[in-house]
Structure 1
Amino acid sequence: MSKLTRRTLGASLSLLAAPAIAQPAWPARNVTIVVPFAPGGSTDVLTRRMAEKMTQTLGRTVQVENRPGANTIIGGEAVARAQPDGYTLLMSSGTTLTINPIVQPNLPYKLEDFAPISLCTTYPFAVIARPDGPQDIPALIAAAKARPGQITYGTNGPTTLTNVAMLMVLQGLGITMQDVTYRGDAAAMNDFIAGNLDLLVVAGSTAMPVMRNGQGRILGWTSLRRMPQTPDIPAFSEFAPGVDALSWFGLLAPARTPQAAIQAINAAAVQSLTDPRIRESVIGDVQNVVGSSPAEFAEFLQAQLAAWRPVLSRMEVPLN
Structure 2
Amino acid sequence: MRLHHTFAFTVSLLAGLCLSSATAQSTDYPTRTITMVVGYSAGGGTDVLARIVAEKLAASLGQAVVVENRPGVGAIVGSTYVAKAKPDGYTLLMGASGPMVFNHALYAKLPYGPQDFAPVTLVGISPMVLLVNANNPVKSVAELVAFSKQNPDKSNYGASSASFQLITELFNNKTGGRFMYIPYKGANDSVTAVMTGDVTMTLADVGPANVGLQSGRVKPLAVTSAERLKDFPNVPTLSELGIDLKASLWNGLLAPAGTPPAIVKRLQEEVARVIELPDVKKRISGMSVIPYTNTPEDFSKFIASEIVLWTQVAKDNHIKAN
Residues of 1 paired with 2:42 and 2:193: CA distance?
17
Given the superposition, is the C-alpha separation of residues 63 and 203 from structure 1 closer, same or farther in structure 2, using an over 3 Å criterion? Answer: farther
Name 1:175's counterpart in structure 2.
178
Aligned partner of 1:292 among 291, 294, 301? 294
Name 2:29's counterpart in structure 1.
26
Name the SS for the 1:257 alignment partner. coil
Aligned partner of 1:88 among 75, 87, 91? 91
Name 2:158's counterpart in structure 1.
153
| Contact map agreement 1:124 1:247 (CA 8 A) in 2 | yes
Name 1:271's counterpart in structure 2.
273
Aligned partner of 2:244 among 242, 245, 266? 242
Higher helix share: 2
Q: Give the aligned residue type for 1:105.
A: A
Name 1:253's counterpart in structure 2.
255
CA RMSD of aligned residues (A): 3.8
| Contact map agreement 2:58 2:65 (CA 8 A) in 1 | yes
Q: Report how far residue 38 of structure 1 moved.
A: 4.0
Q: Encode CA deviations 1:184-229: one digit per residue, 9 max, x unaligned.
A: 657x479669959645543224433553465754443223553344
Name 1:302's counterpart in structure 2.
304
Name 1:36's counterpart in structure 2.
39
The 5-angstrom pairing of residues 182-261 of structure 1 reads: 182=185, 185=187, 188=189, 198=199, 201-212=203-214, 216-223=218-225, 225-237=227-239, 241-261=243-263
Q: Give the aligned residue type for 2:297.
A: A
| Contact map agreement 1:134 1:140 (CA 8 A) in 2 | no
Residues of 2 paired with 1:265 and 1:227: CA distance?
29
| Number of residue pairs aligned between Structure 1 and Structure 2 | 294
Q: Give the % identical residues.
A: 28
Q: Which moved more, 1:244-253 or 1:111-120?
A: 244-253
Given the superposition, is the C-alpha separation of residues 222 and 63 from structure 1 closer, same or farther in structure 2, using an over 3 Å criterion? Answer: same
Q: Find out whether 1:51 has 2:54 as its counterpart.
A: yes
Name the SS for the 1:305 alignment partner. helix
Structure 2 unmatched ranges of 5 or more: 1-20
Given the superposition, is the C-alpha separation of residues 140 and 80 from structure 1 closer, same or farther in structure 2, using an over 3 Å criterion? Answer: same
TM-score by structure 1 length? 0.73
Q: Which moved more, 1:191-200 or 1:73-82?
A: 191-200
Q: Report how far residue 118 of structure 1 moved.
A: 1.0
| Contact map agreement 2:93 2:255 (CA 8 A) in 1 | yes
Residues of 1 paired with 2:41 and 2:134: CA distance?
26
Name the SS for the 1:78 alignment partner. helix
Q: Report how far residue 70 of structure 1 moved.
A: 2.7
Given the superposition, is the C-alpha separation of residues 217 and 282 from structure 1 closer, same or farther in structure 2, using an over 3 Å criterion? Answer: farther
Residues of 2 paired with 1:190 and 1:259: CA distance?
43
Name the SS for the 1:60 alignment partner. coil
Q: Encode CA deviations 1:28-69: one digit per residue, 9 max, x unaligned.
A: 333332233344444334323222221221233323333344
Q: Which moved more, 1:279-288 or 1:249-258?
A: 279-288
Given the superposition, is the C-alpha separation of residues 237 and 295 from structure 1 closer, same or farther in structure 2, using an over 3 Å criterion? Answer: closer
| Contact map agreement 1:36 1:72 (CA 8 A) in 2 | yes
Q: Encode CA deviations 1:253-290: one digit per residue, 9 max, x unaligned.
A: 11122345423322321111111122244456565433
Residues of 1 paired with 2:137 and 2:260: CA distance?
52
Given the superposition, is the C-alpha separation of residues 108 and 142 from structure 1 closer, same or farther in structure 2, using an over 3 Å criterion? Answer: same
Name 2:10's counterpart in structure 1.
none
Given the superposition, is the C-alpha separation of residues 152 and 265 from structure 1 closer, same or farther in structure 2, using an over 3 Å criterion? Answer: same
